[in-house]
Chain A
C-alpha cells in the first residue's frame, strides 16, 4: 500500500471515527463508519471496489447493531472499518483467496472482532483527550466568552482525531500492509491453527447477531418471533427482504390488536391518522 493510500484511509477514519466522528453522528458514525460503507470507500482508495466490499460484508455482519448505551462501547468500528478492512483485504489477496469464499470470510470475521475490540482504546482515548478542550471551554465560559463554544465543540476535537484516528490508522495501514502480505503469501490454510482461526471466524458472527437480538428482545416470549424468522429463512428459504414483508404483516396485526384493546375493544382502528416516519 502506498503512503498516499494510507493517508487517504487515515483521513476517512477521522471523518468516520466511532460516535465522536468529525463528520457528525449521522454522516460520520452511522454512515461512513459502517463497515459496508467503508468497504466502498476503502475499495475506491485501493482500486478494487468489488473485492473490498466482499471482504467488508462479513465484517459488517459481525457488528450489525452497535448500540452504545451511556457511552460504553463493545467495539470501535473505526478500527474495524479503516484498519481491519484494508488489512484483511491485503491478506486475503496475498494468500490468493476467493474473496467471497469461506476462508476469506472467516478470516475477515476474525479480524473484524479483533480490531473492533482492540480499537476500543482509540474510542476512550479520543473521549479522554476531548476533556482537555472541554476544560478550556469551561474556563472560557466562566469568563463570559460564550463564543468559544464552536471552537470547543468542532475545531479542537480535530486534534484528538488527528492523534487517535489519523495517526494509528495511517501508520498501521502503511506499515502493517507489507507485514500482512508477507505472512499471507506463504499461508497454508490446512494447518490446524489456521483452521481454528477460520472456525472462530464462523462462530463470531453469532455474537454480533446476539447483540442485535438483545436490543429487540425484552421478554422471553419475544424469542418466538426470533425463532419464527429463523425458520422462515433456514427452513423455508425466504430472503431477508421477503422475511421483512412477513414481519411487517405481523407488526400490523400487533398494532391493530393493541389499538383495539386500547379503545376498549369497540372502535377498531378508527384513528389511523398518524403515519410516523421512523
Chain B
C-alpha cells in the first residue's frame, strides 16, 4: 500500500481555513471548535476514502478547543501531521493521544500568544503607528495594516508548517529553553516600552495650589511633584490601576468605573484637571 501524503494544496486549504475561520463562529460554549473542525475537514477527506471513516475521524476534533488562535496554528499543524501518520497505520495514535496533545497545548500557547503577540507585539506596532499618525497622518494606520498582516501571516504559516513537519517536537520552537529565554527577553523590552508609552500618552494634571511664593505667584503641587520625578502623578495612577487589577483582582471595567468616579470627584474638588 502506497504511503498516504497530504498534498500541499490541501495543507494550504487547511491553513487558510484556520487562519480565517478560527473564531468566526465563536460562542462561549464551543469557542474555536467549529473553526478547528472546518480546518481539518479537507485533510480528513483526502486521507480517508469512505464516508464512515471521515465522520469517525472528524469526531476526534469535536472536543472543546480554545487558545490564542494565531499561535494556535501550531496545534492545527501538529494534528495535520498526526492524522497523516494515523492514516498510514501508526497504531499509537488514537483519539485520546491527539486530544491529549490538543488539550495540553492550548493553555500554555494561549499564555504565550496573549503575552507575546497581543500583549507585546501588537502594542509595540500600534505604538510606532501612533507616532506616525500624529497630526492625523494616514501613514500611521497604513504602516500598522501592512506590517502587522504581513508578519502575522508569515509567522502563522511558519508555525503551521513546522507543526506539520515536526509533530510534537515542534513545541520546542515555542517552549524550549532557547525560545523561553528569547520570549522572556522580548517581554523585558515590552516592560520598558510600556513605561515609555505611559509617560508619552497619559497625562494627569492637577490645578491644586499649595502656597504662594515670595513674588505672590501660585506654587502648584504638580510642579513640586514633577520636580521630584517628572510626571509622578501620572505614574502613580497607572501603577494604582495595575495594582488593583493584578494584585486585588479587580476587573478592568470596575477599575474604569472607579477612575470615572475619582476623575469626577477630583475635578469638582479642584484636585485634578
A residues with a Cβ closer than 8 A to B are 19-27, 29-31, 34, 36-37, 39-40, 43, 49-54, 57, 60-61, 64-71, 74-75, 99-100, 113, 117, 120, 124, 126-128, 130-131, 133-134, 137, 141, 144, 146-147, 149-150, 152-154, 156-157, 192, 195-207, 209-217, 222-223, 225-235, 238-241, 243-244, 246-248, 250-252, 254-255, 258-259, 262, 271, 274, 276-278
- Tell me, yes or no, whether B25 is within 8 Å of chain A by CB: yes
**Which one of A60, A235, A246 has the highest number of Cβ atoms from chain B below 10 Å of its Cβ?**
A60
B residues with a Cβ closer than 8 A to A are 19-31, 34-35, 37-38, 41, 51, 54-55, 58-59, 62, 66, 69-70, 110, 114-124, 126-131, 133-138, 140-142, 144-145, 148-149, 151-156, 158, 173, 177-179, 181-205, 229-231, 234-235, 237-242, 245-246, 251-253, 255-256, 259-260, 262-264, 266-268, 272-273
Residues of chain A within 8 A of B141, CB atoms compared: 36-37, 39-40, 53
Residues of chain A within 8 A of B129, CB atoms compared: 36
Main DSSP-derived SS at the B contact region: helix
Contact B268 A54 (CB under 8 A): no
In the bound complex, how far is the Cα of B240 from the Cα of A31, in angstroms? 30
In the bound complex, how far is the Cα of B124 from the Cα of A227, in angstroms? 17
9 contacts between A and B (CB under 8 A): A30-B118, A61-B130, A69-B114, A71-B28, A100-B136, A196-B267, A198-B267, A231-B199, A233-B197
Residues of chain A within 8 A of B110, CB atoms compared: 69-70
In the bound complex, how far is the Cα of B145 from the Cα of A241, in angstroms? 18
In the bound complex, how far is the Cα of B25 from the Cα of A124, in angstroms? 13
Residues of chain A within 8 A of B24, CB atoms compared: 20-22, 24, 153-154, 157
A208: shortest Cβ distance to chain B, in Å? 8
Contact A40 B51 (CB under 8 A): no
B65: shortest Cβ distance to chain A, in Å? 12
Question: Nearest residue in B to A55 (C-beta to C-beta)?
Answer: B136
Residues of chain A within 8 A of B201, CB atoms compared: 61, 205, 209
| Selected contact of B144 from candidates A37, A207, A229, CB within 8 Å | A37
| Selected contact of A117 from candidates B34, B229, B256, CB within 8 Å | B256
Contact B133 A57 (CB under 8 A): yes
Contact B272 A278 (CB under 8 A): no
In the bound complex, how far is the Cα of B60 from the Cα of A146, in angstroms? 13
Please name 10 further chain A to chain B contacts, defined as beta carbons within 8 Å, in addition to the given A50-B136, A244-B124, sorted by A numbering.
A31-B144, A37-B145, A69-B114, A71-B28, A146-B58, A206-B240, A211-B245, A226-B194, A230-B231, A259-B178
| Selected contact of A24 from candidates B23, B137, B182, CB within 8 Å | B23
Residues of chain B within 8 A of A259, CB atoms compared: 178, 181
A197: shortest Cβ distance to chain B, in Å? 8
| Selected contact of B41 from candidates A117, A124, A149, A246, CB within 8 Å | A149
Residues of chain A within 8 A of B26, CB atoms compared: 19-20, 71, 126-127, 130
Given the interface pairs A99-B136, A226-B195, A234-B230, the reply to whether A127 lies near B27 with Cβ below 8 Å is yes
| Selected contact of A137 from candidates B34, B253, B255, B262, CB within 8 Å | B34
Contact B200 A240 (CB under 8 A): yes
Contact B192 A215 (CB under 8 A): no
Contact A65 B119 (CB under 8 A): yes
Contact A229 B192 (CB under 8 A): yes
Tally A-B pairs: CB < 8 A: 395
Residues of chain A within 8 A of B245, CB atoms compared: 210-211, 214
| Selected contact of A74 from candidates B122, B182, B184, B251, CB within 8 Å | B251
Given the interface pairs A70-B66, A215-B115, A277-B155, the reply to whether A113 lies near B185 with Cβ below 8 Å is no
Given the interface pairs A67-B118, A69-B110, A254-B184, the reply to whether A152 lies near B25 with Cβ below 8 Å is yes
A92: shortest Cβ distance to chain B, in Å? 12
In the bound complex, how far is the Cα of B69 from the Cα of A133, in angstroms? 21
Given the interface pairs A19-B26, A67-B118, A203-B272, the reply to whether A227 lies near B195 with Cβ below 8 Å is yes
Question: Nearest residue in B to A53 (C-beta to C-beta)?
Answer: B136
Contact B267 A199 (CB under 8 A): yes
In the bound complex, how far is the Cα of B66 from the Cα of A214, in angstroms? 22
B265: shortest Cβ distance to chain A, in Å? 8
In the bound complex, how far is the Cα of B4 from the Cα of A169, in angstroms? 50
Contact B31 A234 (CB under 8 A): no
In the bound complex, how far is the Cα of B155 from the Cα of A277, in angstroms? 6
Residues of chain B within 8 A of A20, CB atoms compared: 23-26
Contact B38 A206 (CB under 8 A): no
| Selected contact of B268 from candidates A40, A100, A196, A243, CB within 8 Å | A196
Contact A199 B264 (CB under 8 A): yes
In the bound complex, how far is the Cα of B44 from the Cα of A147, in angstroms? 12
B227: shortest Cβ distance to chain A, in Å? 11
Question: Nearest residue in B to A205 (C-beta to C-beta)?
Answer: B202
Contact A250 B137 (CB under 8 A): no
Contact B136 A60 (CB under 8 A): no
In the bound complex, how far is the Cα of B144 from the Cα of A85, in angstroms? 18
A56: shortest Cβ distance to chain B, in Å? 8
Contact B22 A24 (CB under 8 A): yes
A211: shortest Cβ distance to chain B, in Å? 5
Contact B242 A251 (CB under 8 A): no
| Selected contact of A199 from candidates B34, B41, B242, B273, CB within 8 Å | B273
